[in-house]
Amino acid sequence: AQTVTQSQPEMSVQEAETVTLSCTYDTSESDYYLFWYKQPPSRQMILVIRQEAYKQQNATENRFSVNFQKAAKSFSLKISDSQLGDAAMYFCAYNNAGNMLTFGGGTRLMVKP
């Protein structure tokens, strides 16, 4: 069974600074997909970024980028120029042919003004 681990229960960043959230996963598959979701207090999961495992190029979405290391099974999220609205729970998730998402335990990000 696949597992996803987020080793940082909480992280804090100063507004306008950069922060990196860690995620590692365990799988024997070669073809899969990785996601970062943001969950604000409103509860709704919002997609931040998506990465296909067969692509070597790291995905980027405006201020959000990933560092995907397939051999190390690592998928970290970098948030640049942090904003107050970035404060939320962040979940890393894995998806393969089974379609269901396997989530990590989450990292709470606090942004200090």
Partner 1 sequence: GAGVSQTPSNKVTEKGKYVELRCDPISGHTALYWYRQSLGQGPEFLIYFQGTGAADDSGLPNDRFFAVRPEGSVSTLKIQRTERGDSAVYLCASSLNYQGATQYFGPGTRLTVL
Q: Which positions touch partner 1 (CB under 8 A)?
A: 4, 31-33, 35, 37, 42-47, 50, 52, 91, 93, 95-106
Using the minimum distance from each CB to partner 1, give the nearer residue, 33 or 64. 33
To the nearest whole angstrom, how small is the minimum distance from the Cβ of residue 91 to partner 1?
A: 5
- C-beta of 93: minimal distance to partner 1 in Å? 8
- Select 11 or 17, whichever has its Cβ closest to partner 1: 11
Nearer to partner 1, 84 or 97 (CB): 97
Rounded Cα gap, residues 35 and 71, in angstroms: 17
Non-local (6+) Cβ contacts of 81 within 8 A are: 16, 17, 18, 63
CB-count burial class (<10 Å; 0-12, 13-18, 19+) for 23: buried
